[in-house]
Chain A
Amino acid sequence: MTASTEAGVQFEAIHGNVRPILNEVMHAIDKLLDDDIPTTIDLSSLPFGPGELDKLEATLGTGELSAQLDALGSSRIRETTYPGVWWIEHRNVNDEVVGRYLEVTRLPEILSSQDADIMAGRARLEEQFEQD
């Protein structure tokens, strides 16, 4: 069990706020499999005692795929040991966490190349041809 320091005192993650989220994840997996509907759980809106977020992260673990996005600061997107359950953490340019989510989906939308960026990239490639 993980522990963290609060006012110099060691605490174990015993407040009971992790189990309900794991239950929610299980229901979200069923929804994805049965109805093909993805779910996003915004972890910043949920109460966590000292050490509980670490416990949740450790329980879900790290799966076989992870990616890093560099846009407005870095973002870490990785599949947990439970396929279809993704841990997404957005940071700003000062490396501070500005958003933390669990996405239950086949592939998080933010990993897909976006049409606007594809078109802008194509235009740059065309310019490159003209320069050469």
Chain B
Amino acid sequence: MKYTPTVGEILQAKGVSRRGFLKYCATTASLLALPPSMIPRIAAAIENARRPSVIWLSFQECTGCTESLTRSESPTVEGLIFDAISLDYHHTLQAASGDQAEAARHAAMEENYGSYLVLVDGSIPMGNPGFSTIAGISNHDMLMETVAGAAAVVSIGSCAAFGGIPAARPNPTGAVAVRDLVKDKPVVNIPGCPPIAMVMTAVLTQFLTFGELPKLDKHGRPVAFFGTTIHDRCYRRPFYEQGKFAETFDDEGAKAGWCLYKLGCRGPTTYNACATVKWNIGTSFPIQSGHPCLGCSEPDFWDKGGFYQPLSTGHFGSGAKLAGAAAAGVALGAVAAAAGRKRQSKYTKEA
């Protein structure tokens, strides 16, 4: 069996001093949303951790999740984490293709059976298997074969976590989430369209550091990042409390940076870390840029009504509401038709 160096050895080989290591541990604690008092424990754990093998599978997706991770101007901490994992299969990033790529996947599975991590982005089509294949293998077959020897599975992005846009009505490919298929392994969901790169690396770091997965909420998301709503941590929340809202995108309220609730902001019902971690090296996040939160880290976000309707108007999510709306629509239609007929008969008579 090949020797896998510890993270401590990797850092030492890179000439990182003890002070640098402490800095690394402090930023790791911050990354994992752990209290700074945990830094000594993190230091002890990281020093002896060994790099895990990672197999990344991409199914019905747009590659935005991989872009989020690789185009994030990765800070050194994240760079070090990726030095500290062995990314053995990722068909977008790896040089090998076809049979060679599949051979690399099988080799990684055999060498690390029972201990490797499987990362998945994209949903799995359950209609015609030919809707999405890799090297002639259906997404379903590749997923089930690969997770058989995995220690855990991480669903990256809303498509892998909840079905995402491919599963939006009418779901033409019969798309499902990883959790709908994988029942006998721990599955961590990191939703978002795309997910925040730092959250992805934090989960990997947690596994690397403590050999365990983070605490999860009812949707399988790490509580450390999905434990509070965007609204809870939004810097515009004081305006919500004061009843100061932007009514349109170009009114005085919008220019003054008031709350975007009335413009459809889903912040109050969306659990994610955008408001504090932010995007583009901590520069901003949608609300700071003047746009309401779309709620992309929640299940079925695409099918929850218009993006620019306030949450308080509800949406056609339930059968009863839909039936009510349909009845109202029918009544409205009947009135319109009657009015139309009246107009028509008037014109006919005039003619």
Contact = CB atoms under 8 A, between A and B. Distances in A.
Contacts of A40: 35-37
Contacts of B19: 69, 71, 110, 114, 117
On chain B, which size bracket covers the interface? 35 or more
Interface string B47-88: 000000000000000000000000001011101100000000
Nearest to B291: A7
B102 to A, nearest CB: 36
Contact of B26 (A6, A46, A93, A101): A101
A42 B36 contact: yes
A109 B18 CA distance: 11
Contacts of A1: none
A46 B76 CA distance: 22
A109 B75 contact: no
A117 B18 contact: yes
A92 B289 contact: no
A17 B239 CA distance: 12
Secondary structure dominating the interface of A: mixed
A16 B24 contact: no
Contacts of A94: 73, 75-76
Contact of B75 (A15, A69, A92): A92
Interface string A41-68: 0101111111010000000000000000
A15 B238 CA distance: 6
Contacts of B36: 40, 42, 101
Nearest to B288: A6
B120 interface: no
B18 A96 contact: no
A40 B19 CA distance: 17
Interface of A: 6-7, 9, 11, 15-17, 40, 42, 44-50, 52, 69, 71-73, 75, 90, 92-94, 96-99, 101, 109-110, 114-117
